[in-house]
């Protein structure tokens, strides 16, 4: 059979024919509460720019300065010629800020999960994986060769049942998102840490959507629960609250040193570009100087949720800036996402495999720099569009 015979996606052909394909819209301005996309003004409710630092002038200036000093790239891995003093400073400040012994940066968040899990887990180990964890965690589990047991989303009884089934001689890693990226709910970290201690497991939290959002001054999910000393590894990304690109492992000296020397995704990847490291570092400085910023983010998120509910829009309230609007069916989700864009609001249409089939949604996210008038305008558009009849019903 021809390898390329499978390269078709009937659903996409159908929505393209109907003129409601909702993906790959072109951004023509900075990532901000209101952006320019494909020639017209759009309220941005689909960005992970939680603290709004992508348009902060000090962050932008730091990127320019790094380009002038270090050039555009390092042309090598951290293991060889690609370590800058800037990388070391970023790692030290991240570790100090979050209360961990050490940090290790990678070039993307996806790569960070691959680097950590594939290095620490092998064929004789077990990984306990929440069913709604990020795709990068699932791919990291495959790369590790470890035995993977998925537990029902945030179901601690199911997690314990699976822990009980594991041989006492096996190494165990429980991996969970801190904030789940689709629904915006927070993991049950106190219960997870309690079970980990009971069964001799280690705990890893993917805090891509928790850092800069939860905890004192935005220190993340572990700090939110006062459990930094119980979480063995925290992974975070720079592409969200830190307004750049890249990722980081926060852990002990021992674990960081081991992963640096055995992790193939880390050793064989070019290191974080100078401008990316510099902008992430400056965004961290801004977060330190403005610990009230995460609180403002939550205030505007709660305002948005209440306005949607008042307008009769069905949502699941979550204690984070991720607000899902459930549309359930794939074609309806694409239709409403495209219509909202046409009317001036950008949201993220989420379909399988990013979610379970039948639980499709429009994923909206808030920034600390959104204002109440902008939110009022966006809610009016969202409520109006959702009253339209989908052509696929």
* Active-site amino acid positions: 181, 209, 240
Residue with tokens 């902060």: 56
**Which residue(s) pair with 251 in the sheet?**
102
Helix (H, G, I), strand (E, B) or coil at 272: coil
Query: How far, in whole angstroms, is CA 29 from its chain's centroid?
Result: 22
Q: How far apart are the C-alpha atoms of 242 and 59, rounded to whole Å? A: 9
Q: In what helix (H) or strand (E) does residue 248 lie, and over which residues does it extend? A: strand 247-251
CA dihedral 348, 349, 354, 355 (to 10 degrees): 120
Q: Of 4, 319, 20, give the one whose Cα is nearest residue 188.
A: 319
DSSP letter at 5 equals G
Q: What are the start-end ranges of the H helices in the chain?
A: 10-18, 57-70, 85-98, 109-120, 135-144, 156-164, 189-199, 221-224, 253-262, 264-267, 274-289, 293-310, 330-343, 372-386
CB proximity list for 316: less than 8 A, separation 6 or greater: 183, 184, 324, 326
CB proximity list for 4: less than 8 A, separation 6 or greater: none
């Amino acid at each position: 059979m021809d390898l390329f015979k499978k390269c078709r996606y009937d659903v996409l052909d159908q929505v393209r024919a109907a003129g409601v394909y909702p993906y790959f819209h072109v951004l023509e301005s900075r990532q901000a509460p209101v952006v320019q996309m494909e020639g017209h003004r759009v309220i941005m409710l689909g960005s992970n720019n939680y603290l709004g630092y992508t348009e902060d002038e000090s962050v932008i200036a730091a990127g320019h300065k790094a380009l002038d000093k270090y050039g555009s790239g390092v042309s090598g891995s951290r293991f060889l010629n690609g370590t800058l003093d800037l990388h070391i400073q970023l790692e030290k400040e991240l570790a100090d800020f979050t209360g961990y012994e050490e940090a290790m940066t990678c070039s993307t968040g996806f790569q960070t999960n691959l680097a950590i899990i594939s290095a620490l887990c092998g064929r004789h180990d077990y990984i306990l994986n929440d069913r709604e964890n990020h795709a990068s965690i699932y791919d990291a589990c495959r790369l590790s060769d470890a035995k993977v047991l998925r537990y029902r989303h945030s179901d601690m009884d199911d997690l314990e049942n699976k822990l009980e089934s594991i041989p006492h001689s096996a190494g165990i890693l429980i991996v969970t998102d801190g904030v789940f990226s689709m629904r915006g709910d927070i993991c049950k970290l106190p219960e997870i840490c309690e079970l980990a201690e009971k069964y001799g497991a280690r705990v890893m939290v993917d805090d891509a959507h928790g850092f800069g959002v939860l905890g004192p001054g935005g220190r993340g999910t572990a700090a939110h629960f006062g459990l930094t000393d119980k979480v063995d590894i925290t992974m975070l990304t720079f592409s969200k609250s830190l307004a750049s690109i890249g990722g980081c492992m926060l852990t002990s000296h021992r674990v960081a040193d081991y992963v640096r020397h055995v992790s193939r995704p880390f050793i064989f990847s070019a290191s974080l570009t100078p401008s990316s490291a510099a902008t992430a570092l400056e965004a961290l400085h801004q977060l330190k100087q403005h610990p009230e910023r995460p609180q403002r983010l939550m205030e505007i998120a709660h305002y948005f949720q209440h306005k949607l509910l008042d307008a009769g829009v069905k949502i699941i309230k979550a204690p984070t800036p991720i607000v899902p609007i459930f549309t359930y069916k794939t074609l309806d989700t694409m239709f409403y996402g495209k219509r909202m864009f046409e009317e001036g609001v950008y949201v993220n249409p989420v379909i399988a495999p990013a979610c379970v089939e039948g639980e499709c949604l429009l994923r909206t996210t808030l920034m600390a720099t959104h204002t109440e008038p902008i939110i009022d305008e966006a809610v009016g558009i969202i409520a109006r569009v959702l009253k339209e009849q989908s052509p696929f019903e």
